[in-house]
Amino acid sequence: MFQTASGVTIPFPERIQEQFQVYEKQSIRANISFEKLKPLITEFYQSLPEPLFFVLQIPLSILEERQLGFDQTLHQEVCYLDGQTRDQMDAILNSYGHILLEDGISQFAIASHFSHEEIFIQKYKLIDLYSPSPRRFIPLLQRYGLTETDHLFTVWDTFSHETPGECRRVSIEGLDAYAIAECLKKIGMYRAQIIED
Mean pLDDT computed over 123-127: 97
Please tell me the predicted confidence (pLDDT) of residue 121. Answer: 98
pTM of structure: 0.95
Q: How far apart are CA 89 and CA 46, in angstroms?
A: 9
Q: pLDDT, tens digit, for every residue of 83-119?
A: 999 999 999 999 999 999 999 999 999 999 999 999 9
Please tell me the predicted confidence (pLDDT) of residue 157. Answer: 96
Would the CA dihedral through 29, 34, 39, 41 be positive or negative?
A: positive
Whether the predicted pLDDT of 45 surpasses 80:
yes
Q: How far apart are CA 162 and CA 47, in angstroms?
A: 42
Please tell me the predicted confidence (pLDDT) of residue 61. Answer: 85
Whether the predicted pLDDT of 32 surpasses 90:
yes
Cα torsion 25, 27, 31, 33 to 10°: value is: 110
Q: What percent of the chain has pLDDT over 70?
A: 100
